[in-house]
Structure 1
Amino acid sequence: MSALAKSKSHHFYDEDDQDVLIQFDENSFVPVTPYQEDFEDQVNEAQEQLLQLRQKQEMLERQKLELEELQRRKEEFTHGRAEVTEQLSQSIAHLEREAARAQQLAEECLDSKESFEQHLRIVEMLRPEHWSRADLRDELTRALACIEDAEQDIAQAGHLLEVRKAAPKGVRVTEKKSTASAAASREQGFLHWFKCGLAFTLPLMIFVGVALLLLSIFGAGN
């Protein structure tokens, strides 16, 4: 069938009532339908968008975790700084007081040491054997006054002499251990030499005992 035969004729009338004949071919029209490629492109585009959204979500979650970690560390720093600041301030004040007391104690110890050295020199210079009978009363009075002055200074410095008793337990324990170790060492040394002496003299003692026994036997026989 020719193209002319496949064509259809349609009659239209214009305003002047004139018959207008229009012919067209049905095969010249292509139906408008979506292609398969368009669907695949849309699916791929949607998957790509989902992937981008998922990556963005993961990035946001990482940022959230980092911010939470930073916030936690910031709070830890703030709390730690406040606590350490308070501890350092209290420790500094305590050490300042202790340093002042230690300095005062050191000064008192030096003063007492100088005073004691002076008393010791005076006391050592007291020689009763050099006193004459005529000056004995005056010398004794002066000597007793020197002794009394020394005793007064010793009594006044008693709190300084008690410092050693107030030493930390660790120091006292160390001193006790050292004393015990020294005593044990001396005891072990005595036992060692006692055993050595016994080992040397025991054979001699046995020999002497046997000799005395023989002498007594033979002497009785005679």
Structure 2
Amino acid sequence: MDRGNYNTVYEDPNFLELEPDNSMELSIAEPAQKVSSLEFDEQLASAQNQLKELRKQEEEIEKQKAELEHLRQMQNSFNRGKVEMTDNLQHAITLLERERLDAEQRILQYTRAQSIFNRTLEEVSSLNPDDTDRTELHSQLEAASNVIDDAREEYVRTLKHLDSLNSSDELSDNEHKSNIKVSPKSQTNFTYWFRSGFAFSLPLIVFATVAYLAYRFLLN
């Protein structure tokens, strides 16, 4: 073989090496990047949906918690109110029963006092010296004065008894004033005015009786 005709191309060591084709690598990488970006977007969307769902569940839990707290407060308020009203009503029933019994006793005492006053009034009203002679005027006046004195004593004694009943009622009211609402204005004892009226009228009655007897005596 003629070395003069030897092709130097075959002696080039880089003859069989190929140049890298970057365009092919880019064409392969681009679809891979697109797939990776799509998966990331899907994962991000899924995570956001899960976060929204968790927030929704959290809001629902908070709502249920608030409802349970409200129910607990209502239950506690109901229990306190039930205990309070049960105690108040039981105490009020006991007080009313005692007041009813006391009222019955007062009615009996008032009825008795009324009967005494009616009898005494009849005795005082029966004093009629129209037919009294001059010789009997002194004795009739003395007897009438005794009747008046007895009426006065009976009247005062009965009123004292009624006052004692009212005093007992006032003490009872003071003991339970924290449980029973009473008017802040004090009321005047009715027996005071009753006694005062009778005390004012009694001298006039006696004077009128004596004057009438004296007048009848002078006429005779």
Q: TM-score range by the shorter chain?
A: 0.5 to 0.7
Alignment of 1:30-41 (within 5 A): 33=32, 34-41=35-42
Deviation at 1:149, TM superposition (A): 6.3
**Paired position in structure 1 for 2:185:** 170
Contact kept in structure 1, 2:124 and 2:148, CA below 8 Å:
yes
Which whole-Å CA distance do the structure 1 matches of 2:115 and 2:163 have between them? Answer: 15
Which whole-Å CA distance do the structure 1 matches of 2:124 and 2:87 have between them? Answer: 54
Higher strand share: 1
Identity rate of aligned residues, in percent? 25
**Paired position in structure 1 for 2:162:** 160
Which whole-Å CA distance do the structure 2 matches of 1:80 and 1:70 have between them? Answer: 15
Judging changes above 3 Å, is the alpha-carbon distance between structure 1 residues 116 and 109 closer, same or farther for their aligned structure 2 residues?
A: same
Deviation at 1:163, TM superposition (A): 6.3
Which whole-Å CA distance do the structure 1 matches of 2:105 and 2:184 have between them? Answer: 23
Contact kept in structure 2, 1:131 and 1:139, CA below 8 Å:
no
**Paired position in structure 1 for 2:4:** none
Which whole-Å CA distance do the structure 2 matches of 1:137 and 1:155 have between them? Answer: 27
Q: Which stretch has the larger CA shift, 95-104 or 80-89?
A: 95-104
State the one-letter code of the partner of 1:108: Q
Which whole-Å CA distance do the structure 1 matches of 2:76 and 2:166 have between them? Answer: 47
Count of aligned pairs:
147
Q: SS at the partner of 1:170?
A: coil
Unaligned runs of 5+ in 1: 1-29, 176-222
Q: Deviations over 1:39-77 (max 9, x none)?
A: 211211111011001110111011112111211221121
Deviation at 1:90, TM superposition (A): 0.9
In the alignment, structure 1 residue 81 sits paired with structure 2 residue 96:
no
Provide the aligned C-alpha RMSD in A: 3.9
Unaligned runs of 5+ in 2: 1-27, 171-182, 191-220
Contact kept in structure 2, 1:119 and 1:150, CA below 8 Å:
no
State the one-letter code of the partner of 2:132: W
Q: Which stretch has the larger CA shift, 79-88 or 127-136?
A: 127-136
Which whole-Å CA distance do the structure 2 matches of 1:134 and 1:106 have between them? Answer: 43
**Paired position in structure 2 for 1:93:** 94
Which whole-Å CA distance do the structure 2 matches of 1:169 and 1:72 have between them? Answer: 37
Contact kept in structure 2, 1:123 and 1:147, CA below 8 Å:
no
Q: Which stretch has the larger CA shift, 126-135 or 60-69?
A: 126-135
Q: Which stretch has the larger CA shift, 77-86 or 147-156?
A: 147-156
Kindly indicate whether structure 1 or structure 2 has the higher relative contact order, using CA contacts under 8 Å at least 6 residues apart: 2
Q: Which stretch has the larger CA shift, 122-131 or 140-149?
A: 140-149
Judging changes above 3 Å, is the alpha-carbon distance between structure 1 residues 44 and 65 closer, same or farther for their aligned structure 2 residues?
A: same
**Paired position in structure 1 for 2:69:** 68
Which whole-Å CA distance do the structure 2 matches of 1:64 and 1:169 have between them? Answer: 48
Deviation at 1:153, TM superposition (A): 5.8
Deviation at 1:81, TM superposition (A): 1.3
